[in-house]
């Protein structure tokens, strides 16, 4: 009868690392920018960049929601991360005024500004809200002027 040798196991109290799927994936999905999970945020940013690179950003409601939410959430997230001023509402201030600043100084691609302007004109959004009430209105107000 041949002898069998057993390989001594590692420390019995030590657990194997958790596999990436599904545990690691859910840690990534739990990271959020605003309310958007990080993987979806990155896909949407790539989608916006792709449209902006081609110079033809659609002005339909789906693209407008993506553009405005990505811009607003990104600026709000910046405001939440700055140590001292985050306690006095920097997230709301950044989400409202940074998009306006970027649009006014032409730091956003023209195709993005045109898409937002066309959407707000088509939806009559400018006449229903004040320019400083949200980042969407701020973007549209500055882009239209």
Residue ranges of domains in the chain: 29-144
Structure tokens belonging to residue 15: 């657990």
- Number of alpha carbons in the 13 Å side-chain half-sphere of residue 114: 9
Mean per-residue pLDDT for 89-107? 91
Determine the pLDDT at residue 132.
46
pTM beyond cutoff 0.75: no
Contact indicator for 91, 119 with CB cutoff of 8 Å: no
pLDDT digits (tens, 9 = 90+) for 28-39: 889 999 899 999
């Amino acid at each position: 009868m041949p002898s069998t040798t057993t390989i001594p196991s590692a420390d019995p109290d030590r657990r194997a690392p958790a596999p990436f799927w599904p545990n690691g994936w859910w840690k990534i999905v739990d990271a959020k920018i605003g309310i958007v999970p990080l993987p979806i945020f990155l896909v949407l940013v790539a989608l916006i960049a792709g449209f902006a690179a081609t110079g033809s950003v659609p002005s339909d409601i789906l693209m407008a929601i993506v553009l405005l939410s990505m811009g607003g959430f990104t600026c709000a997230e910046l405001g939440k991360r700055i140590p001292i001023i985050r306690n006095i509402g920097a997230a709301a201030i950044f989400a409202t005024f940074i998009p306006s600043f970027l649009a006014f100084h032409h730091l956003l691609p023209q195709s993005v500004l045109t898409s937002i302007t066309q959407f707000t004109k088509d939806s009559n959004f400018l006449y229903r809200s004040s320019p400083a009430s949200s980042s969407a209105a701020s973007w549209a107000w500055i882009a239209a002027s």
